[in-house]
Structure 1
Amino acid sequence: MSDQYQNGQRLRVSIEGTIIGIGRMIDAVYLTIGPDNQDADKTIQVRADAQGITVEHLAPTDWPPRPGDKWENGKGRELFATVDCGRVVLTDIYGEQADRDLDELLRRDAPWTLLHPSVERGEQ
C-alpha cells in the first residue's frame, strides 16, 4: 500500500468519526499531511487504511503545471499549460482557459494526470 503514495503528491483526505483512543501501530501506513510549505507544526498523521478515512489522489508530484505540459483532468478533458500575463494557465485545444486559479482547478477537477511533460521537465 505504501508504494501508491509519494512525497509531494497532492491529496484530499476526509476524516469521519470520533476519537476513541490515541496510540501507535507499527504495521500500518501513516500519511503525514500538511500545507505546501511543509510547516511541521501544521501537519497531521493519518493511517491511510483506517475505517472512516478517505484518501483521494488530486495530482501527481509533477503538479503544478509547467508551460508546455499536457494534462488531463478527472473529467477526461485534455489541457495544455501555457503562459498568460506571466501566469501559467491551462488551456484547451480551442484556446479556452479552464480557470486562472490552478489551486481551484486542482481541487475541483481532480484527479489530474500529466500526459506529456514539457521539454523543460525532460523525459519521464
Structure 2
Amino acid sequence: MSEAKIDRKGILEMARGGFLERADYEMTKIIDNILDPNTRADKKRTLTITLDLIPDADRQTIRVNTVVKSKLEPTNPVATSLYISGGVGGDMVVSELVPQVPGQTSFSGDVQEAPPLLRLVK
C-alpha cells in the first residue's frame, strides 16, 4: 500500500497565490523606482509583507490578512534661483535667474530667452 503524497504550500502561496501576487506587484514598483533616473540609485528600498493571523474563539479557523507595501526613494529635488527687483512703478518683480543676460547670444549661438516672472498673489 503506497502513501499518497500530500501537496503542502507555504503561507505566501495561500489565497490562490494572492499574497505572492501582491508582493510581485510591489516588487515591480521598487524596480521601476530603482531604474528612475530622478531618484538616487544607491539608496535602499524596502518591501514589507505583514501577515495578520486572527484566530476565532474556538481556535478552529484563522483569518489571515496581508498587507504588502513598498518604501521607495523619493525623486531628487529640483532647484532654481529667483531674483527680486523693483519693477516699473515700484511694483516688486520676481524672476527666475538665467545663465546669461536675456537677448545675449552664447558662444554656441543660442540666444538667452527672457526669464519667466513669478506670479504673486496678494
TM-score, normalised to structure 2's length?
A: 0.19
Q: Which has the larger radius of gyration?
A: 2
Of Structure 1 and Structure 2, which has the larger fraction of its residues in strand?
1
More RCO (CA 8 Å, sep 6+): 1
